[in-house]
Structure formats: structure tokens, C-alpha cells
Amino acid sequence: MSKRRMTLSISILLIGVLVFNYFSAYSEKLTKSTNLSNESIGGVKIHESIHDRRFITQYDKRLTKEDNDEYDCYHWKGGLETASINSGKDEGSIMRVIITGTDKKTFDNPLHTAKGVKLGDTKEKVLSLYGNKYYKSHEQGADIIGYIDHKQKITLEFWCIDSGKVAEIRFDDSSVN
């Protein structure tokens, strides 16, 4: 193979790798929008305040708190986790809601999405209820099925373990990393 041909082949391969990585990293942004405006986990919506009377009544008190630079991360009774803005005019605004569990005890958690998906449900149930406008990802050993609402700027992700069961549900403002 001539030197010129080899350089051209390497260039094409490099461009192909870069294009693949670009689309893989931005598949979320390229995914068609799903209306998530009525979505919640355990009745908790993104941008709701942890200081709201309804939230306080439902979740009573926080069990633990983890601080970080941008958010206060709380663990509430019933297995709910939230991340909320920790200062300024939007202090207390929920930016992330998570429920997690990989065993029978946590699969019995009654918290669920607005459409009824809960921990331990199958990937097939997620797809039948939320549809085919989703992105896929793989992280920390989990297959992730994600839905994005471009208008509301929120995402809903279902982290599935090897058995195909939902082990984590994340509901986020899309600005949260």
C-alpha cells in the first residue's frame, strides 16, 4: 500500500471514530422529544421545592444530607433521593429525583413514575409505557434507556441491570450532570 493511500485510510478511520464518538456523546440531544411535563417519581416533580407544604407532608423529614458545590443532596423516607439548588432565589428547587435498588426488598418500594414504572419492572414495560423515542447508554454496568423532553429540558432515565430489571430511575433537569 502506498504511503498516500495509507495516510488517506488512517484519516478516514480517524474521522469515522470522531464522528461515532460525537454522535454517541450527543445521542441524548439527537433523540426525539417525549412529553414529560406530567412526569414525577413518587409524586415529586422537577423544579418543585423541597420547602413546598405538599412535599413536606408527603416526605416528612430528610434522613441524611450530602453537600456539594451546587446542590444539596437529600435522602428521604421511602428511598427517595433529591438534589436541590442550595442557594439563591431558587434555593430548594429540585433538580434531580432518584430511586435506586437491586434486591427484592427495594423492588417492593411503592415509589414509581407517573406512568407506573417502579424498581424491579422490566425494560419491556418501560418501552411499552414510554415508547420508542429514547436514547441508549451504558454506564456503571447498567443499560440505560433515556427519554428527553426538549421543551421542558428534563430527562427520565431507567438504569437496567443484567437481568433486564429497572434498578434505578433518574428524573433530572437536563442541566444536571
Class of residue 97 by CB neighbours under 10 A (exposed 0-12, middle 13-18, buried 19+)? buried
- So what's the pLDDT on residue 18? 46
Gap between the Cα atoms of 17 and 31, Å rounded: 20
- So what's the pLDDT on residue 28? 56
- So what's the pLDDT on residue 98? 94
- So what's the pLDDT on residue 79? 85
- So what's the pLDDT on residue 19? 47
- So what's the pLDDT on residue 8? 61
In which region does residue 165 sit, left (phi positive, over 0), alpha (psi from -120 to 50) or beta (all else)?
A: beta
Under a CB-based contact definition with an 8 Å cutoff, are residues 97 and 80 in contact?
yes
**N-terminal to C-terminal alpha carbon distance within the chain:** 46
- So what's the pLDDT on residue 170? 96
Under a CB-based contact definition with an 8 Å cutoff, are residues 138 and 112 in contact?
no
Question: Which one-letter amino acid corresponds to residue 170?
Answer: R
Name the stretches of the chain with pLDDT < 70. 1-29, 67, 103-108, 177
- So what's the pLDDT on residue 66? 81
Confidence (pTM) = 0.81
Q: The C-alpha cell of 120 is what?
A: 424491579
